[in-house]
Structure formats: structure tokens, C-alpha cells
Structure 1
Amino acid sequence: MVFKRRTPRTWLQVIAEGFWPRGGWNRAVYYVVHRLRRLPDPPHRIARGIAAGVFVCFTPFFGFHFFLATLLAVIMQGNIFAALMATFVGNPLTFPFIAAISLELGEFLMGRHAIPIHRVFGAFTQASQELWHNLVSIFTHDPTHWDRLARFWQEAFLPYMVGGILPGIVASVIAYMLALTAVKAYQARRVKKLRDRFEKRRAALSQAKPGKSDGAPAE
């Protein structure tokens, strides 16, 4: 393949770049912002897509954020690419804070005590392992187990989902307003630059025409 890496990355490199991308987070954020601003779509559609992607980051559907962001962007009539790019708001540096806020609020709304954050990520891992085992057991004689998934649903997934709705809405509204203002300003500035460039070229052409006519022989 043309774009395939000559030297495949190891799992440690993949994990390390998840926490610190090549070129640093400043470059990664600049790239995302640059691509979002240059999208060929009206500002309100881009802003809706960004809002959809940010909201999805507050849901516990890890591994399905791209799919959910696309679906929500279609429902909201937003830009799908903007929604996909906005899901990078949820990353290894922000997920611990998002999870802590969502779980604390969810447990409070449900009238329960929040479990430690490290137990939450452990519950996600154990539930994923048990789900995979149950899928594999369809083709084997191994018995299925649902106790970890049931505990995961009660202790982590449900409070995370309930508690993530309110901060997800707040974050997505803020993201929408900021994105709408920024994209409008950028597109207006870009149109002005193109107009000024066009005017300069037209002025240069209009000045060049008299010069050619002066050099023409008189009848």
C-alpha cells in the first residue's frame, strides 16, 4: 500500500502517542482547528457538527464515538467531518476529568455513592473482556458469564450515562457558540482577503491596458 508505514508502530508507541501525539498537543490542536475552519460549509452546520462531537465525548460508549457523532450530526443537520474531528475533545488527557464529573453527577442524581475513578476504568476493561468471552463462547462449549457486565451496568455505565447528559449539553452548547463565532469570523476574513486580492489584480490589469494603448501606432 502507498500510505502504509515502512516500520509498523509497536503497542507502546501507539499508547504513548495517545497521551502525547507526534509534534505535541499544540500541533495536534492547531491541525484540528485549521481543518475545521476551512471546511466548505456554512458556519452553523460546522458548529452543529462540533457540538455533536463534543456531546458524544461525555457518553460511555467508548469505541462507538465516531459512529454516534456521525449519527447525531445527521440528526442535527450538522457537518459530519466536524463532528468526527470534535470527538478528539475526548482523549486520554481529558477522559479522566470527563469520567469523574459524569460519574459524580450521575451517582448524585441517582442517590448513590460514587465509586473511585480507577475502579471505573477497571470495570470497563472487565466488562469488555467478559463481552468478548461471551461472543467467542457462541462458537465453543465455554459457558457464558454475565455477572461482570451486570455489575458494570449498575456501578459504571448507568451513572456515567445519566451524569454525562447535563455536562455534555453544557459543553456542546459552549462549543457551538465558540465555533459559530470563530468560523464566521474566519470565513468573513477569508472572503475579504479574496476580494482584496481580486481588486488588486483588476486594478493592475486596468493600469496595464492604457500602457499598451499608448505604445500603439497612431493612425
Structure 2
Amino acid sequence: MMRLSFPQPARRHRWLSAWQRSLRYYYLRLMRSHSSTESIARGLGAGVFAGMLPLFGGQMLIAVSLAFLVRGNKPLAALATWVSNPFTYVPLFWFNFQVGWWLMGQPSLSLGEWQSWEKLLEQGGQMAMILIFGSVWVGVIAGLLTYALCLRLLPTLRQRFRRPSAMAAASFPNRPQL
């Protein structure tokens, strides 16, 4: 008996194909969703807003609560909080901190100003407030932009998603419909 062997993808590419399958799955769920465009946009906006907050573990709870208040899609709100994830925490929260520092009227900040960890820890409470202040502002702007982009782009994406199936039915008129 002859055994066929197919080339296996390299190990480093397996995680990439898993991510691609996962993204495609969520894209298809979004396109097939029966929620209104406004509900989806409100849910994604709430999730992106909550994702900008430096409250690890509480982001999803805040996003779903906010989506409940604005009548947004709750699962998409929870999913949108992943805009901040372990890969983006440091640059995102550094940016939020810089925005908070700038909005509070302080000169630009560099880590070289603190010569020791003791000085850094003394200023911890003030730094946390600056981070939260900047995160809220960045979150509001990012959430509103997400909401506006969703309202603008989602109808077009849904129309494009539905179009190929209608074209396929027209190209095969004798094919029985299921």
C-alpha cells in the first residue's frame, strides 16, 4: 500500500494561518450578523473606547456595560477591547500617557528625567492620573472614529459580501437552489 505524504507547513506559519482563519471567522460573523449597522457601530465604538483604558481585565466589563447603555452589539464590544493586547500595551499606553501629559499643559516627557526608581515611584499616583486622563481622551476620540467609520463602511462591506452569492446564482441558472 502506497502512502501519500503532503508537505506540512513550517511550524512558524501555523500560527499565522490560525490567525487568518480566526480573523476570517469573525469577519464572516460580522457580515452575517442580523444586528443593525448602528448597533454594530455603537458596540465597536464602546469596545474601542474601553480598550484604550489601562484597566486590565476590566476592559471587557466596561465595554459590555457601555454597549448595554448605548444599545450596541455586546459581543462585538467585548471583541473590540482587543485593540489593546499584550503586544500593543506598552506603545499604546505610552502614547496615552504622552497625550495626558500634553493635555495637562506639561512639557514633553522623557524617562531620563528620573534618575532613580525611588523618584519614579514617588510620582506614581500623579503618573497614573495622567495615564488615565490621556487614555480617556484617546479612547473617546478612537471610539467616535470607530463609530463613524463603521457607519460609513459597514453597509458597503455588507453589500459586497452579499453580491458574489447573487452573481453565482445568476451564472448557474440551472443549478438547483438549496
Quickly name the TM-score band, shorter chain normalised: 0.5 to 0.7
Q: Distance in 2 between matches of 1:83 and 1:115?
A: 34
Q: Quick check: 1:32–1:85 contact (8 Å CA) kept in 2?
A: no
Structure 1 residues 96 and 86 mapped into 2: Cα distance closer, same or farther (>3 Å)? same
Which is higher, the Rg of structure 1 or of structure 2?
Answer: 1
Residues 159-209 of structure 1: CA deviation (Å, up to 9, x unaligned) = 1111112221221122223323332123334555566677789x759xxxx
Which of 29, 32, 37 does residue 43 from structure 1 map onto? 37
Q: Distance in 1 between matches of 2:133 and 2:17?
A: 33
In structure 1, the residue matched to 2:127 is 155
Structure 1 residues 166 and 177 mapped into 2: Cα distance closer, same or farther (>3 Å)? same
TM-score relative to the length of structure 2: 0.68
Q: Distance in 1 between matches of 2:89 and 2:30?
A: 22
1:95-110 equivalence runs, <5 A: 95-110=89-104
In structure 2, the residue matched to 1:59 is 53
In structure 2, the residue matched to 1:9 is none
Q: Distance in 2 between matches of 1:41 and 1:198?
A: 25
Q: Quick check: 1:115–1:155 contact (8 Å CA) kept in 2?
A: no
Q: Counterpart of 2:49 in structure 1: which amino acid? A: F
Over aligned residue pairs, what C-alpha RMSD do you find? 3.3
What is the CA-CA distance between 1:44 and the residue it aligns to? 1.1
Structure 2 residue runs of 5 or longer lacking an equivalent are 1-13
Which of 161, 164, 168 does residue 139 from structure 2 map onto? 168
Q: Distance in 2 between matches of 1:182 and 1:25?
A: 26
What is the CA-CA distance between 1:52 and the residue it aligns to? 0.5
Secondary structure of residue in 1 paired with 2:15: coil
Q: Distance in 2 between matches of 1:197 and 1:183?
A: 22
In structure 2, the residue matched to 1:72 is 66
- The percentage of counterpart residues that share the same residue type is 26
Q: Distance in 2 between matches of 1:29 and 1:152?
A: 38
Q: Distance in 1 between matches of 2:153 and 2:82?
A: 18
Secondary structure of residue in 2 paired with 1:177: helix
Q: Quick check: 2:45–2:146 contact (8 Å CA) kept in 1?
A: yes
Q: Does 1:177 align with 2:171?
A: no
What is the CA-CA distance between 1:103 and the residue it aligns to? 0.6
Secondary structure of residue in 2 paired with 1:22: helix
Structure 1 residues 24 and 172 mapped into 2: Cα distance closer, same or farther (>3 Å)? farther
Structure 1 residues 115 and 76 mapped into 2: Cα distance closer, same or farther (>3 Å)? farther
Q: Counterpart of 2:66 in structure 1: which amino acid? A: L
Q: Counterpart of 1:54 in structure 2: which amino acid? A: V
In structure 1, the residue matched to 2:83 is 89
Moved more, 61-70 or 165-174: 165-174
Q: Quick check: 1:48–1:78 contact (8 Å CA) kept in 2?
A: yes
Q: Counterpart of 1:42 in structure 2: which amino acid? A: S
In structure 1, the residue matched to 2:16 is 23
Structure 1 residues 102 and 188 mapped into 2: Cα distance closer, same or farther (>3 Å)? same
Secondary structure of residue in 2 paired with 1:102: helix
Q: Distance in 1 between matches of 2:28 and 2:140?
A: 24
